[in-house]
Structure 1
Amino acid sequence: MAATADCPIMFLDVDGVLIPFRARPTEPTSAERYAAPPADDDEGNPLLGRLDPEDGHRLRSLGCRLVWATTWMSDANEQVAPRLGLPELPVVDFPDDDDEPEHGLHWKTPFLIRWAAGRTFVWLDDEITDTDRRWVHAHYEGRALLHRADPAVGVTPNDFEVIRRWLAETSAAVAAS
């Protein structure tokens, strides 16, 4: 399914979501990694090897407008997107702001709902809490799914299924209204 201008937005985090904190089962062990010279395309970041190229296909198949919502900022387009087979994506430009969010609220949350501007969105991150979900429910008029990935393993096929099901239910609800 191709993403259109009025399709849902998918805000993507990188660390803990696309790059899990724990090695993937297919990843070389540390002994194997140190026995071989580093790959030229790792650009000094060995964690990029934890990216699963299939995640790019899984993300594109959701039919969302993919948007980076990560501290990687535009570096995600240079270092992550090509490894996932993704085109250059828009980037949420988080301002350098010293304002502390409400107690327990993730610092990204207010920026993302401003960026979404009433459009349906999914936010895939490893730091989402119930506080963020309650705050978005109370402050955002559009439809939103805040989905937390387990940072140890990153996004899984089950996470994609939960998101796919929510998108289908949301699409059906919009069509019925």
Structure 2
Amino acid sequence: MSHPLLFLDVDGPLNPYAARPERRPEGYTTIRADLHARRPLRVWLNPSHGPALLSLDYELCWATTWMAEANRWIAPVLGLGVLPYVDFGADLFAERPDGVHWKTEAIVRHAAGRPFAWVDDEQGPADTAYVATHHPGPALLHHVDPRVGLRTQDFTTLAKATAGLGTRR
């Protein structure tokens, strides 16, 4: 039996960008990512998140606007290898009239029927309904507060969810 996918957003779950800007959260390190913007982007990452993610029974996949750049800037700090990523292509930031997040359709397409969990700070009820209607396998949309990022209880929830998503220990 294959592992379910775990789609990972960067900004919010891994980089608590909405935390108090003058105070790096405990356990986090700061990187400055030069993404060809006017100035490098300040990113807070917790190196302990990598081993915690790798200990879960999931196949990890980036689901972030960083796309391939997550492998360059984020993965090394967390101790992750090169991960596949959802290529949002034309979907990147495309507004939908039905209120579904612009990532949702591409994530469902990428999953191709496989069970998955999606960790993000921007999903809502419209996304849950879309996944329930358009994805034939089990799925968990797990919201993370962008002020605090992933915490122990999030990893516990993801670990427990693998049973319902098709992974058995």
What TM-score range do you get, normalising by the shorter chain?
0.7 to 0.9
SS at match of 1:87: coil
RMSD: 2.4
Q: How does 1:55-66 map to 2 (within 5 A)?
A: 55-66=49-60
For 1:47, give the aligned amino acid: R
Runs of 4+ in 1 over 6 A off after TM superposition: none
TM-score between the two structures when normalised by the length of structure 2:
0.84
- Alignment equivalent of 2:104, drawn from 91, 106, 109: 109
SS at match of 1:146: strand
The answer to whether residue 8 in structure 2 is matched with residue 7 in structure 1 is no
SS at match of 1:47: strand
Deviation string 1:128-171 (CA, Å, 9 cap, x unpaired) is 11111111112211110000100111111101111111112433
The alignment of Structure 1 onto Structure 2 pairs a total of residues equal to: 158
- Alignment equivalent of 1:161, drawn from 156, 159, 166: 156
> Which ranges in structure 2 are unaligned for 5 or more consecutive residues?
35-39
SS at match of 2:90: coil
- Compute the displacement of 1:102 (Å): 4.0
Contact 1:19 1:47 in 2 (8 A): no
For 2:84, give the aligned amino acid: P
Aligned mates of 2:83, 2:125 — CA distance in 1: 28
Aligned mates of 2:160, 2:65 — CA distance in 1: 28
Between 1:95-104 and 1:119-128, the stretch displaced more is 95-104
Deviation string 1:104-140 (CA, Å, 9 cap, x unpaired) is 2100001101100000101000101111111111221
Higher strand proportion (structure 1 or 2): 2
Aligned mates of 1:151, 1:18 — CA distance in 2: 9
Q: How does 1:1-177 map to 2 (within 5 A)?
A: 6-21=2-17, 22=19, 23-26=24-27, 42-43=32-33, 45=40, 47-48=42-43, 50-97=44-91, 100-171=95-166
Pick the structure with greater CA Rg: 1
Identity %: 42
Between 1:153-162 and 1:89-98, the stretch displaced more is 89-98
Aligned mates of 1:25, 1:7 — CA distance in 2: 32
- Compute the displacement of 1:100 (Å): 3.4
For 1:107, give the aligned amino acid: W
TM-score between the two structures when normalised by the length of structure 1:
0.80
> Which ranges in structure 1 are unaligned for 5 or more consecutive residues?
29-38
Aligned mates of 2:4, 2:110 — CA distance in 1: 12
